[in-house]
């Protein structure tokens, strides 16, 4: 399964999953249809599935046009998003599994950004290979999503599920927010040498208009403040020893950054 990153809107990423042997594809969170259709034409591939993580327009905006072009495809999304995702046919819950090509993804229920958000995790096929996590707006490179419909407790629980995955998991999040996220991270975790190095590397990459997605989960665990609520340095920065309160205060600071 090849993952092809497509740019959309101002800072969105769409991910096309491609099986060259069967010449089929699936798409994760099509913000708009045009980049997907262009790539499918180049590949001469048939789109068989849409995997939506949540209902926001910049994640489902291309659904209807893609359904019109490929009426036999199947639209997947979270069970709690019933009625909110255009064309949704399959309603997924924590622990469900979905198939694409020879790969099977585990569905992880990750409310917080929205009340219905899910993520798709494809474990590695072989020892030493990477897993693939499509997490929408729950976890970003260096950050996490705003809490529009969920609570800090929910988001900590959701991020804990993601944090439990192997370090060699590629994080395919849906926005190019990394540089801004790391600028903020330095304000609460400035003595973190791994974070300092990452900020320098990302600054160079963005100056050359290079994408910073995918990230690696192991890197996120070392540098992303929204996965580090138990770290003393962060608790001191927000004057709390409670993990959920630490997360909530960091999120509140990021909202105003």
Q: For 33-88, how does the pLDDT look when each residue is reduced to its tens digit (9 = 90+)?
A: 999 999 999 999 999 999 999 999 999 999 999 999 999 999 999 999 999 999 99
For residue 91, the cross-strand partners are 77
**pLDDT (average), residues 191-213:** 97
Sign of CA dihedral 225, 227, 233, 238: positive
pLDDT tens sequence across 88-145 = 999 999 999 999 999 999 999 999 999 999 999 999 988 889 999 999 999 999 999 9
The predicted pLDDT at position 126 comes to 87
Give the residue numbers marked as catalytic: 54, 56, 58-59, 113, 137, 175
Structure tokens at 83: 């009625």
User: Is the distance from CB of 138 to CB of 172 less than 8 angstroms?
Assistant: no
**What is the average pLDDT value for the chain, to the nearest integer?**
97
pLDDT tens sequence across 218-249 = 999 999 999 999 999 999 999 999 999 999 99
The predicted pLDDT at position 173 comes to 97
CA-to-CA distance for 138 and 84, rounded, in angstroms? 18
Domain 2-255 has CATH 3.60.15.10: yes
């Amino acid at each position: 399964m090849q993952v092809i990153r497509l740019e959309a809107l101002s800072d969105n990423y769409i991910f096309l999953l491609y099986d060259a042997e069967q010449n089929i594809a699936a798409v994760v969170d099509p913000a708009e249809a045009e980049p997907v259709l262009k790539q499918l034409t180049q590949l001469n591939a048939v789109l068989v599935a849409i995997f939506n993580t949540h209902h926001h327009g910049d994640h489902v905006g291309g659904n209807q046009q893609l359904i019109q072009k490929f009426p036999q495809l199947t639209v997947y999304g979270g069970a709690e998003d019933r009625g909110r995702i255009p064309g949704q046919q399959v309603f997924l819950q924590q622990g469900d599994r979905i198939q694409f090509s020879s790969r099977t993804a585990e569905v992880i229920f990750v409310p917080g950004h929205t009340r219905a958000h899910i993520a798709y995790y494809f474990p590695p096929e072989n020892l030493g290979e990477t897993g693939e996590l499509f997490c929408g707006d729950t976890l970003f490179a260096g950050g996490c999503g705003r809490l529009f419909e969920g609570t800090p407790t929910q988001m900590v629980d959701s991020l804990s599920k993601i944090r439990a995955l192997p370090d060699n998991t590629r994080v395919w999040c849906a926005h190019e927010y990394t540089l801004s996220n790391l600028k903020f991270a330095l304000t609460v975790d400035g003595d973190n040498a791994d974070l300092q190095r990452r900020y320098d590397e990302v600054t160079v990459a963005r100056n050359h208009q290079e994408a910073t997605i995918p990230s690696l989960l192991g890197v996120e665990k070392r540098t992303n403040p929204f996965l580090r609520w138990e770290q003393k340095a962060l608790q001191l920065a927000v004057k709390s020893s409670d993990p959920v309160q630490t997360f909530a205060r960091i999120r509140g600071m990021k909202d105003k950054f």
